[in-house]
A and B are shown apart, each in its own frame.
Chain A
């Protein structure tokens, strides 16, 4: 009874913290500019099914893909077990689904869970080794500071511990379940009697050798692991919302809202369109008073997170810092400061900062910091070749390039802070219609070279 109350309190507390954090994230994403991505449901759904559910973009690295699929499938299927744990926790029962599903079905589930648990465990160990000893370039880099590095290790170690607890619990339980009924009753553990699992504890069967004979000790191990596992799951589910591991949820909406156009297309800036139309329209009256319902002119490009669209901010929350973008980036490969992963991490860090400030001090609150300058430097931005390799590489369809271009737009159009060579190129285009100092009238001169020689 007491344990049921404790369990329900823990469950409710977890749910409250979980939902509160989710709302924080939603609040933060909504700080971004509006962007209409409605419609195209079936096309979007297909992309989501292929990229998020089917993990199609991970296959370029087969080893990591294989391991990742093991953890992913394991995670989803083992979570069915959580249903039983929740029911047992609330009602004080033991393995309640055995009675509901019937032992023939139930133990097949348990057998499968155990195999998956072992595979998840092994995959996490391999990932830990790869990450810490493997000397894989994309796991290092300037932005992989203390927190991102420990974040990754905390996730892997947590998953290993959860799986170990699950298997140890089953091992202790399987010994308990085979103990003589009279002995169980005599020690007050009668709810462990009457099970016939017929050897389906495939993996934990190998651990029973390490288990003590004493029924009371077994009980303590079984209960201890049970509580460790479920409290661990509660804690981990909250941790995920503060960690790069959040991709397990947000990858789905993020891929759903993927760009549907060719990646080479950079959207035309609406705010500029109005200005240019005005400039080019001979009938436009430059002295006309703005319409009463005219919106305040938008900032051209982006200086801070609120100048980005909600989708770009959702991208930032979707990044799991795998570094595929950075390892494909031509600028990064040749030693430049630019790292697309850092662009995403900086965007998220700054968004967290702004979100917190807004919630505390209200919608008008501001500080002297900004994404451009305090997080991302000009040198990083000017190293980009807009080649789209980062966009192509991202397993959850994040677009770091769009943020880079928006920040460049601010630098150029609001601050006139382009490198001088680019300013010269702009001037040439304006004056001569070409990026160099050639006369536009000479554009067709090459045709003369095709005439009689």
Chain B
């Protein structure tokens, strides 16, 4: 059902005197990482299918500064924030949705004090709204009887208290939601946060993503659902570590919903 679609940028929309319903903040992973790009595309297709008028910043988007800030480089973070806020405010952006919990957290919590005030939603919340409003309908058929476990991203769950939206989506798929022993506010990190994604782990006796993947394998899922492109990468690597990639798929919530919506 590959339907051709065009994603407009804010610049294009503004040029034609339009204002989108929501700005899709893609993030660096979503823009450049091959695996994460699939999530970006899946979510765009859902937005398109649901007749959501959305735009992206395209080449005008820049790193939120999250990894720099959490690594201690407040200067670089604030420079990034300053630039991004100027762009967003120039386009009079009011509402932002993002597929990355790190972007979500920083846009929602740390930009306002620097002058960037927006309503910021994680895509799990946005998708939940689409389903609730009847703008998107899905048939869970393809996931019937499948076991799905959800790995809580730290910056979505513990850090911002969003636990239910992702789980609601999985329930809508008609699949069996199984919880890992450590979940929700007790969920274990995938190991990528705080700029760890960009460096080798410090000396230890195990990789964090391996430890977390063990939690997941324990509940014997068919699919590990993720809500963060970084978690997705870490869990995918973890599954490979145990040579389980034949049995267990790691998929983003947007991909699951897109699949169920036959997109």
User: Which A residues have a C-beta under 8 Å from some C-beta of B?
Assistant: 60, 261-266, 268-269, 272-273, 275-277, 279-280, 300-301, 328, 330-331, 333-338, 379, 382-389, 392, 405, 407-413, 418-419, 421-422, 424-426, 429-430, 433-436, 438, 440-447, 449-453
Contact = CB atoms under 8 A, between A and B. Distances in A.
Given A335-B206, A433-B28, A451-B6, 18 more contacts: A262-B160, A264-B158, A268-B110, A272-B75, A331-B208, A334-B205, A335-B203, A336-B204, A385-B154, A385-B194, A389-B154, A409-B74, A421-B199, A422-B71, A434-B32, A444-B7, A444-B9, A444-B59
A389 B188 contact: yes
Given A422-B199, A425-B198, A279 B204 contact: no
A383 B31 contact: no
B116 to A, nearest CB: 11
Contacts of A445: 31
Nearest to A420: B199
A334 to B, nearest CB: 4
A261 B112 CA distance: 13
A446 B204 CA distance: 37
Nearest to B62: A433
B190 to A, nearest CB: 8
B145 interface: no
Nearest to B32: A438
Interface residues of B, number: 75
A424 B93 CA distance: 32
Q: Closest 8 CB pairs between A and B?
A: A264-B159, A408-B72, A386-B194, A433-B62, A335-B205, A444-B58, A387-B189, A335-B204
Given A330-B211, A385-B192, A413 B61 contact: no
Contacts of A421: 198-200
A430 B202 CA distance: 25
Contact of A387 (B68, B194, B198, B211): B194
A60 to B, nearest CB: 7
B188 A418 contact: no
A450 B73 contact: no
A261 B109 CA distance: 8
Contacts of B194: 384-387
Contacts of A433: 28, 61-63, 80
13 contacts: A301-B74, A337-B204, A387-B194, A388-B159, A389-B158, A412-B73, A418-B72, A425-B68, A433-B62, A436-B28, A442-B59, A443-B57, A447-B6
A451 B203 contact: no
A273 B74 CA distance: 9
B131 interface: no
A385 B74 contact: no
Contacts of B41: 446, 449-450
Most buried by A among B2, B76, B203, B211: B76
A276 B82 contact: yes
Contacts of A434: 28, 31-32, 62-63
A300 B191 CA distance: 27
Contacts of A388: 154, 158-159
A2 B110 CA distance: 66
A447 B56 contact: yes
B193 interface: yes
Contacts, number: 232
B218 interface: no
Nearest to A384: B194
Contacts of B95: none
Contacts of B246: none
B219 interface: no
Interface in B176-196: 185-186, 188-189, 191-196
A336 B63 CA distance: 29
Nearest to A388: B158
A447 B210 CA distance: 33
B32 A412 contact: no
A443 B196 contact: no
B161 interface: yes
Contacts of B205: 334-335
B59 A443 contact: yes
Given A387-B193, A444-B31, A447-B6, A262 B109 contact: yes
Nearest to A453: B2
B22 interface: no
A4 to B, nearest CB: 55
Given A335-B204, A451-B5, A429 B63 contact: yes
A387 B6 CA distance: 37
Given A386-B194, A444-B9, A449 B37 contact: yes
B172 interface: no
A419 to B, nearest CB: 5
Contacts of A440: 59, 62
B201 A446 contact: no
Nearest to A417: B72
A385 B206 contact: no
B62 A265 contact: no
B194 to A, nearest CB: 3
Given A301-B72, A429-B76, A422 B195 contact: yes
Nearest to B65: A429
B207 interface: yes
Contacts of A392: 158, 185-186
A418 B67 contact: no
B75 A435 contact: no
A426 B73 contact: yes
B149 interface: no
A333 B206 CA distance: 8
Residue of A279, A335, A386, A410 with highest tally of chain B CB at under 10 A: A386
Contacts of A276: 75, 78-79, 82
Interface string B61-100: 1110101111111111011101000000000000000000
Nearest to A334: B206
A300 B58 contact: no
B44 interface: yes
